[in-house]
Amino acid sequence: MARVVLKDVVKTYGSVYAVNRVSLTVEDGEFVALVGPSGCGKTTTLNLVAGLIPMTSGEVFIGDRDVTDLDPKDRDIAMVFQNYALYPNKSVFNNLAFPLQMRKLAKDEIDKKVRAAAKTLDITHLLERRPRELSGGQQQRVALGRALVRDPRAFLMDEPLSNLDAKLRVQMRTEIKRFHQDLKATIIYVTHDQLEAVTMADKMAVMNGGFLQQYDTPANVFAHPVNMFVASFIGSPAMSLIPVDATTRGDAVVLTSPEGWELPLSAQNTAKARKSSTSKIVLGARHSTVRLHHAPAAGAIPAKVYTVEPTGDITFVQVFIDGAVVNVSVPPNVVIRPDETVYVEFDQDRIHLFDAETTNALAAD
């Protein structure tokens, strides 16, 4: 296994930037999830690492080698595709054998390796079948097997689980994770599902519009999103974002709303709010850091209940503050009705403040 480095990678299609100056280092043995909404450039980035499409500018290193100008076959990587890309006219055995045949291995060695990989993935009984005779989950295993059968320097996976049903997806998630730990494999894993990224990856690279937005451990991305896009993309339900005005009152900054409520900020948050380029600020809060009161309380903001969604062990409540939807979670025994007026209290230590102009997070030095 080896580390993978992207340096200022750019890919344009006509005047469209599919990937825009992305720099990223994936350490040896690391599992990195490349996550972002559809069309943000994840597949393109992965294809650039694989060498499947010509790069507009930038460099790619695998191990210590500059592979920027190498053919995919010389980069020694394995890839799993979203639609599996199994060779339809070859049996499962020959699908797995193909990468080894291309490397001109001896017949008996190919046989041994294919059977070993098939055993790992529990698909030995399928070896003689054609891909179209397999279920989606089985095809997925074969696709993984074709990557596993040789030991490449890195694995690239492009939404490998997105065509599976929910239950199978969870199961395969565990298996891939397990397989990463056993092999100490370097993996770049593309997904549009933030939950998949958060649960599987050592680090996640959040992309949007061709740009790399944030690259950090899932915990850090979750706790310290660098901008409003990352804040709202990671976490489910999404972080609530409320546009407010910041007014200085003495030493403190007070958030004010056209609806009349005010929220004095703590000293630390005041320091953050002062960094904003204008007085327009966006207040962000995750559902678990917001408390609901039935009666007015100090520092609580009046809000109207929109929907109540019990899920069993937790109940999600959506309320309106200034026209913005705010997600709140409450224990299942709390009784709340739609259209009721409630009072929302934010945990000042765990709120996020964003510059409404630049959308970047405001940090206290």
Partner 1 sequence: MNTVTGQTRPSSVAEPVRRNLFQSMWTHRADYGYVLPAIVVMLIVIAYPVYYTIDLSFFQTPPGLQLRDKKFIGLENYRAILSSAVFWKVTGNTVMWTISSTVIAFLLGLGCALALHREFIGRGVLRAILLIPWVVSAVAASYVWKWLYHSDFGVIGAALVSFGLAERPPNFIDNINTVLPALIVVNIWREFSFAMIMLMAGLQTVPDQLLRAAQVDGASAWQRFWHVTFPHLRGVSTVTILLLAVANFNSFIIPWIMTGGGPSNASPGQVKRTQRRKPADGWRWAGRIFLAVMLVYTVVPMAWMLITSLKTGFAAMMYPPQWWPAEPTLSNYLRLLDPRDTIGQDFLHYFWNSMFVSISTTILAVVVAVPAAYAFSRFRFPGRNFLFFAVLLRNMFPAVIFLVPLFILMRWLGLVNTHGSLILTYLTFGLPLAIWLLKGFYDNIPIQLEQAARIDGATRLQAFLLVVMPLSTPGIIATAIYSFIGAWNEFIYAATFLNKNEQMTLPVGLQRFFAENTTDWPGLMAASFMMSVPVVVLFLVLQRYFVRALTEGAVKH
Ligand X SMILES: Nc1ncnc2c1ncn2[C@@H]1O[C@H](COP(=O)(O)OP(=O)(O)O)[C@@H](O)[C@H]1O
162 binds, among Mg ion, ligand X, partner 1, none (CB under 5 to 8 A by kind): none
- Give Cβ neighbours of residue 107 (< 8 Å, ≥ 6 apart): none
Question: In the numeric block, which tokens belong to residue 307?
Answer: 């929907």
Which region, judged by CB under 8 A, interacts with partner 1, from 99-107, 263-271, 335-343, 344-352?
99-107
- Give Cβ neighbours of residue 109 (< 8 Å, ≥ 6 apart): 100
Contact between 43 and Mg ion by CB under 5 A: the answer reads yes
Contact between 83 and ligand X by CB under 6 A: the answer reads no
Q: What is the C-alpha separation between 154 and 113, in angstroms, rounded?
A: 18
Q: How far is the CB of 11 from ligand X (least distance, A)?
A: 8
Q: What is the C-alpha separation between 242 and 326, in angstroms, rounded?
A: 8
Q: How far is the CB of 329 from partner 1 (least distance, A)?
A: 28
Q: Which of 197, 246, 218 is nearest to 40 (CA)?
A: 197
Contact between 336 and partner 1 by CB under 8 A: the answer reads no
Identity of the residue, 37 or 264, whose beta carbon is nearer to ligand X in the bound complex: 37
Question: In the numeric block, which tokens belong to residue 299?
Answer: 């520092």
DSSP letter, residue 88: T
Question: Which residues between 344 and 363 bind partner 1 (CB under 8 A)?
Answer: 358-360
Look at the alpha carbons of 53, 56, 60, 66 in this order and tell me if their dihedral is positive or negative: positive
Identity of the residue, 76 or 196, whose beta carbon is nearer to partner 1 in the bound complex: 76
Contact between 208 and partner 1 by CB under 8 A: the answer reads yes
- Candidate list 138, 139, 140, 213; residue touching partner 1; CB under 8 A: 213
The residue whose two tokens read 């995919």 is 72
Strands 211-216 and 203-208: antiparallel
Q: How far is the CB of 190 from Mg ion (least distance, A)?
A: 6
Q: What is the C-alpha separation between 150 and 141, in angstroms, rounded?
A: 15
The residue count for binding ligand X (CB under 6 A) is: 11
Identity of the residue, 30 or 317, whose beta carbon is nearer to partner 1 in the bound complex: 30
Q: How far is the CB of 33 from ligand X (least distance, A)?
A: 13
Count of helix runs (H) and strand runs (E) in the chain: 10, 20
Identity of the residue, 38 or 311, whose beta carbon is nearer to ligand X in the bound complex: 38
Site track for partner 1 across 40-79, x = CB under 8 A:
-------x--x-x---xx-------------xxx---xxx
Question: Which residues between 33 and 72 bind ligand X (CB under 6 A)?
Answer: 36, 38-44
Q: How far is the CB of 89 from partner 1 (least distance, A)?
A: 5
Contact between 191 and Mg ion by CB under 5 A: the answer reads no
Question: Which residues between 19 and 38 bind partner 1 (CB under 8 A)?
Answer: 20-24
Identity of the residue, 205 or 281, whose beta carbon is nearer to ligand X in the bound complex: 205
- Candidate list 39, 66, 69, 83; residue touching partner 1; CB under 8 A: 83
- What is the longest distance spanned by two Cα atoms in the chain? 81
Contact between 216 and partner 1 by CB under 8 A: the answer reads yes
Question: In the numeric block, which tokens belong to residue 62?
Answer: 């695998």
Provide DSSP, 177-234.
HHHHHHHT--EEEEES-HHHHHHH-SEEEEEETTEEEEEE-HHHHHHS-SBHHHHHHS
Identity of the residue, 22 or 321, whose beta carbon is nearer to partner 1 in the bound complex: 22
Q: What is the C-alpha separation between 251 and 249, in angstroms, rounded?
A: 6
38 binds, among Mg ion, ligand X, partner 1, none (CB under 5 to 8 A by kind): ligand X
What are the distances in angstroms from CA 56 to CA 47, 82, 83, 119, 253?
13, 24, 26, 41, 47
Q: Which residues bind ligand X (CB under 6 A)?
A: 13, 16, 18, 36, 38-44
Q: Which residues bind partner 1 (CB under 8 A)?
A: 10, 12, 14-15, 17, 20-24, 47, 50, 52, 56-57, 71-73, 77-79, 81-83, 85, 87-89, 98-99, 102-103, 146, 208-216, 220, 224, 226-227, 229, 358-360
